[in-house]
A = this chain, B = another copy of it.
Amino acid sequence: MKQHGVDTPTKKPAGSAGNASRRKFLGMGAVLGGLLTACQTTDIGEEKGPSPLGRPLRAYGERSANETSQRFMRPGKHPELGATRTPLQDSHGMITPSGLHFERHHAGIPDIDPAEHRLMIHGMVERPLIFTVEEIRRLPSVSQIHFVECAGNGGGEWGAKTAPSAELSHGLASCSEWTGVPLRLLLEEAGVKSGASWLLAEGADACHMQRSVPLDKALDDVIVAYGQNGEAIRPEQGYPLRLVVPGFEGNMNVKWLRRIKVDDTPYMTRNETSKYSELQDDGTAWIFTYPMDAKSVITYPSGGHKLNSQGAHEIRGLAWSGRGTISRVEVSTDDGGTWQDAELQEPRLPMAFTRFRIPWSWEGGDVVIQSRSTDDTGYVQPPTAALIEERGTKSVYHHNGIKAWKVNADGSVTNADA
């Protein structure tokens, strides 16, 4: 077949290069040399006559049947009460696909008709207000890319670190573009009374999830969100309305939001006293430890991956901080002996995932790789030992220690601490 003088790829290219020239791949010398070993023996396929037309258009797209990455779900009797995790080991960029955003429900996902749903603002306000979803959608809006991270993310890292994958160690964190109305606007219209300092946010799920939120945060950057990654928030992320509390522990980002009560005291609800508080060795507990401190995790290669050849690989990962913008990520490939700065993907946004990358050549053998992030407050992600020295091991929450993976001689990747 000839068409407009264009060659068709029916034959293996005559000039196919050998290993020697391939070792100059990308100007990195031998770094990427091992990568292309297979190239010589493959081609892009013989033409087999006219191709049939492909699949037709459709009104709402789905992923390829060849893509099977999914949220991990621990088997259990009550799947309404548990969590699923984002498969970070398969992730690209900073946006989490909405279908793979982690879930953490305390009473399942309510089935809410947005036409019937209401948001009430009351308590210490001049003018109690009730909004329909349609009214909320008409108000002045913003779109912000933020992560949401469960306070319990990495909880298994306090003790024996057995998580076999980034999904199981760090997958209770995801990042979306959220669209909604700044809560500040709603509170200004309601007229917050003098002396108010807190609010209670409540969900419409069966357990009526309740969390206290400091008023100064509410007036700063909190969003009453109805949009996620360009469409309506997904049911499991709070459809039709959720609170987005940038950088604060996930549980405060109340889903299926139906009520905000302004007050002069926190509410000491179950999910900020018996849960989502941090028990110390002396029997006291830290409460209201809201911001998620700077953290990072290598997503490739990470637990469960299998490197099928030595040579060039790109180490990739995600870093985030609940206190601001990621300013630096360092990577070690010698068990913490030395550290190199990774490249940070722009735009780096506050309280959002930042993708980091660094070239690496696997020369075989056992290698321990890890990352540590720094945010624009100057805070550096600590080793787990430092966290334990400060806080003990009685709490499962707010673990942001450095995470290590081990590339084994056979190419398998496992938890370095397992």
Contacts and interface: CB of A to CB of B under 8 A. Distances in A.
Interface in A37-54: 38-39, 42-45, 50-54
A337 interface: no
A100 to B, nearest CB: 7
Given A60-B99, A93-B230, A55 B111 contact: yes
Nearest to A17: B127
A210 B105 CA distance: 48
Interface residues of A, number: 140
Contact of A53 (B80, B97, B116): B80
A84 B71 contact: no
A122 interface: yes
Contact of A92 (B126, B227, B268): B227
Interface string A58-72: 111111101101110
A347 B103 CA distance: 27
Contacts of A189: 22, 24-26, 32
Nearest to A355: B143
Interface string A112-145: 0110111110100011111110110011111100
A82 B6 CA distance: 25
Nearest to A314: B140
User: How many identical subunits does the complex contain?
Assistant: 2
A73 interface: yes
Contacts of A27: 188
Interface string A1-44: 00111111100111111000110111100001001101100111
A229 B140 contact: no
A231 B105 contact: no
A224 to B, nearest CB: 13
Interface string A333-370: 00000000000010101000001010100000000000
Contacts of A15: 122, 127-128
Given A57-B82, A71-B57, A130-B43, A259 B205 contact: no
Given A39-B132, A61-B101, A62-B99, 18 more contacts: A3-B210, A17-B128, A24-B189, A25-B189, A26-B188, A32-B189, A38-B135, A44-B119, A51-B107, A51-B110, A53-B206, A54-B107, A54-B109, A60-B99, A62-B234, A63-B235, A66-B114, A92-B226
